[in-house]
A and B are shown apart, each in its own frame.
Chain A
Amino acid sequence: MLEDDKIIDLFFARSEQAIQELDRKYGRVCHRLSYNILQSWQDAEECVGDAYLGAWNAIPPARPNPLQAYICKIVRNLSLKRYEYKQAAKRNSNFEIAMQELEDSLSAPDTVESELEARELAQIIEDFLENQTKENRVIFMRRYAYMDSYAEIATRVGLSENNVAVRLNRIRRKLKQYLTEREVFL
C-alpha cells in the first residue's frame, strides 16, 4: 500500500487513483467506523463515498497529516449527521449504546447547563486522556470515537470482553469526576 505522502501527492496531481489508494488503505476502517454508527452497510458506503469526495475537494490545498485521522473524522462527522437524520427510524446502533453509557458521566440534573463549546470540551477530553495510560486511552477512543463494540476492543487490546467493560466503567467514572472537578456539566 502507498505511503500517506504518496496518496496526498496523487490528490495534488488530481489523479483519481488517489481515491482508490485511499480506499484501499483506509476503506475498511472508514466503513467499519461508519457502520458502527449507522448499522447499515449501505448508509456507511454512502457516507464513506461522501467523505472521499470531501477529501477530494479539500486536498489540495489541505495536506492532512496524519491522513487516517483526517479521513476518519470526516467519515465520523458525516455518519453522525446521517445518524441524527435517521434517528427516529433506527435504534440500538453502537453509537447510541456507547452514548447511553456516558449519560451518567455527563448528566448533572441540578445544575445549569454550561455554554461550553465543543472545541473547549474537546480540549478538556484531551487533557483527561493525557492522564490515562496508553491502553486506557486506546480503549476510550475505540469505544467513543470509533464506536467499536466491547468484543472488537477486546480483540484489539488483548483483553477479555469483560475486562474491557470493567475498564470502560472505571474510565467513565474518572471522566465524570474529572468533569465535575472542572465544573463542566453537559
Chain B
Amino acid sequence: MNTVKFAEAMSLVDDRYYEEAANYQGTKRKPVWFKWGAMAACLCLVLAGALVLPRLIQLNGTEGGGPSNAGGLWPGDPVAVGTVHREDFSPEKSQEAALLFRDVPGVLKVYRTTVDSWFLSDHLTDYSQALTGEAVYVVPQYSEGIGCPPTGEQSYSVYVSGEDGTLTWGEGVSLEEKHTMPYALIGLTDEIIRKDLSGIAYEDYIITHSARLYAVIVWARCPDGEDRFVTYSSRPEFLGLEDHTVYTLEELQQRLASSSMGQNHTNYSDSEG
C-alpha cells in the first residue's frame, strides 16, 4: 500500500482532468424541502392577499386618500432604517451559540452586509437592503477552534450556522469571505462598542462587517427611530471615517459616498463575489 505515491501520482495527472473537474457543473438538485416550500409560499401568498387587500381598499376609501404613516406599505413613506425587517437581525446569540461559547469570552455575532453599494442608496429604509440574514460568530483567540489551545490575541476563528442551527468552525465560510473579514474585529469587544455608544440613548445594536469596505459597522437602534452607526475600519482614511465615532445614517452615507471607496465604487458585491 502506498497512498503517498498515489497522492504524488495524482499531482502529475494531466491538467485537462483538473480543468474538467474544476469547471464541471452538474444539474442542480432541488432540495427535499423545495416542493413543500413552493406550496407553502403559494399558501402564504394567498393568505397575504386575503389580509392586505381589504386594508388597501379601506385606506383608499379614507378622507384624502393619502398614504398611511403606520408602516412601509406605501412607496415614499418616511420609514427610518431599522424599522423594516429589523426583527430579523438580532444581537442575541442562538441557543446553540450560547451553549457552545458559554466558556469563551468575547464572542461576537456579526452580520454581513450585502452589496457594497448599500451606502449609496437614497432609499435605505430596510435592513435587508443592506444586510444579509447570515450571521457568523467571531471567536477571539481560538483560530484553531474552541477545544484547541488559544492562539493569541491577534487571532480569531469564525463559526457559521448550518441549516439545522449547528455551528461549525470554518466550514461553510468561503475563503474569500473569511479572508476579507476585517482585521478590525481583532480586539473589538462589546465593552469597546458600549463605551463608544455611551453618549447616545440606544436600545440595542447589531454588529456587521463589509468585506468590500473592510470595516466593522455597528448599527445601534435608538428610541428616536433613527439608527446610529459606529465604524471600526482597517483603513479609516480610505473610508473618510473616524473610528469610534457615532454617525447618523445620513452622515455615514455622505462620508462613504465621498470617500475614495465611494468615488471608485464598482458593482463588486460582498455577498455574491
Contact (A99, B7) CB under 8 Å given A41-B170, A69-B19: yes
Q: Are the CB atoms of B29 and A159 closer together than 8 Å?
A: yes
Residue of B5, B20, B27 touching A141 (CB-CB under 8 A)? B20
Tally chain B residues at the interface, Cβ within 8 Å: 36
Contact (A142, B29) CB under 8 Å given A66-B15, A99-B3, A125-B13: no
Interface string of A34-52 (1 = CB under 8 A from B): 0100001110110000000
Residue of B4, B29, B175 touching A41 (CB-CB under 8 A)? B175
How distant is the Cα of A160 from the Cα of B26 in the complex, in angstroms?
A: 12
CB-CB < 8 A to A170: which residues of B? none
Q: Are the CB atoms of B6 and A158 closer together than 8 Å?
A: no
How distant is the Cα of A126 from the Cα of B24 in the complex, in angstroms?
A: 18
| A102 close to B (CB within 8 Å) | yes
Interface residues in B157-203 (C-beta closer than 8 Å to A): 170, 174-176, 178-179
Contact (A138, B24) CB under 8 Å given A103-B3, A118-B9: yes
Q: Are the CB atoms of B22 and A69 closer together than 8 Å?
A: yes
Q: Are the CB atoms of A32 and B175 closer together than 8 Å?
A: yes
Q: Are the CB atoms of B14 and A126 closer together than 8 Å?
A: yes
Residue of A31, A72, A186 touching B2 (CB-CB under 8 A)? A186
Q: Are the CB atoms of B12 and A122 closer together than 8 Å?
A: yes
| A77 close to B (CB within 8 Å) | yes
- The number of residue pairs between A and B whose CB atoms lie closer than 8 Å in the complex comes to 132
Q: Are the CB atoms of A134 and B20 closer together than 8 Å?
A: yes
Q: Are the CB atoms of B5 and A145 closer together than 8 Å?
A: no
Q: Are the CB atoms of B21 and A146 closer together than 8 Å?
A: yes
Interface string of A147-186 (1 = CB under 8 A from B): 0000000101111100000000000000000000000001
CB-CB < 8 A to A129: which residues of B? 13, 17
CB-CB < 8 A to B24: which residues of A? 134-135, 138, 156-157
Interface residues in B1-55 (C-beta closer than 8 Å to A): 1-22, 24-29
How distant is the Cα of A95 from the Cα of B10 in the complex, in angstroms?
A: 12
CB-CB < 8 A to A142: which residues of B? 21
| B243 close to A (CB within 8 Å) | no
| A73 close to B (CB within 8 Å) | yes
CB-CB < 8 A to B114: which residues of A? none
> In chain A, what residue has the closest Cβ to B174?
A28
- Closest Cβ of chain A to B33, distance in Å, is 14
Contact (A106, B3) CB under 8 Å given A41-B178, A135-B26: yes
How distant is the Cα of A144 from the Cα of B2 in the complex, in angstroms?
A: 14
CB-CB < 8 A to B126: which residues of A? none
Interface string of B122-150 (1 = CB under 8 A from A): 00000000000000000000011000000
Residue of B5, B11, B176 touching A76 (CB-CB under 8 A)? B11
Q: Are the CB atoms of B174 and A99 closer together than 8 Å?
A: no
| A107 close to B (CB within 8 Å) | yes
CB-CB < 8 A to A125: which residues of B? 9-10, 13
How distant is the Cα of A100 from the Cα of B3 in the complex, in angstroms?
A: 8
Interface residues in A66-99 (C-beta closer than 8 Å to B): 66, 68-70, 72-73, 76-77, 80, 84, 95, 99
Q: Are the CB atoms of A99 and B6 closer together than 8 Å?
A: yes
- Closest Cβ of chain A to B166, distance in Å, is 14
CB-CB < 8 A to A116: which residues of B? 5
- Closest Cβ of chain B to A52, distance in Å, is 13
CB-CB < 8 A to B15: which residues of A? 66, 69-70, 73
Contact (A186, B143) CB under 8 Å given A141-B17, A141-B18: no
CB-CB < 8 A to B179: which residues of A? 27, 31, 45
Contact (A141, B21) CB under 8 Å given A118-B8, A126-B14: yes
A-B interface, 5 closest residue pairs, ranked by CB to CB distance from nearest: A158-B26, A141-B21, A31-B175, A69-B15, A69-B18
